[in-house]
């Protein structure tokens, strides 16, 4: 799965740390999601969706091998 979290974060002009604080996780978690090392839970994805004001599918995309 790939994501455009970094782009969405840039649109809102947030640092990794600020985004982490907004949704109640650590900066490490945001970094791991952005570098595709961690796939977040549905709950976290929905929190991101609420913050970005976009459906989850807009910033998380399935890849061919998923």
Partner 1 sequence: MNKQKFCEAEERRLNWLINFKLPNYWKKIGWGILVVSLALILSTKFIDGDFDLLKSILKKAMLIGLLIVTISREKIEDEFIENLRSKSFSLAFIFGVIYVLAQPVVNYIVSLILQSEKANYEDLGDFQILWFLLVVYLTAFWSLKRRNA
Q: Which residues bind partner 1 (CB under 8 A)?
A: 20, 24-26, 28-29, 31-32, 37-38, 40-41, 43-44
Smaller CB separation from partner 1, 13 or 41: 41
38 neighbors 45 (Cβ within 8 angstroms)? no
Q: Is the Cβ of residue 40 or residue 59 nearer to partner 1 in the bound state?
A: 40
DSSP H or E segment with residue 46: helix 42-52
- Sequence-ordered list of residues with C-beta below 8 angstroms from that of 23, at least 6 positions apart, any chain: 44, 47, 48, 51
Comparing CB distances to partner 1, the nearer of 4 and 38 is 38
Nearest distance, CB of residue 29 and partner 1, angstroms: 4
């Amino acid at each position: 799965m790939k994501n455009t979290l970094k782009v969405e974060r840039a649109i809102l002009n947030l640092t990794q740390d600020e985004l982490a604080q907004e949704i109640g996780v650590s900066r490490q978690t945001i970094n791991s999601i952005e570098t595709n090392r961690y796939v977040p839970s549905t709950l976290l994805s929905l929190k991101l969706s609420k913050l970005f004001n976009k459906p989850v599918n807009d910033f998380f995309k399935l890849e061919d091998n998923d």
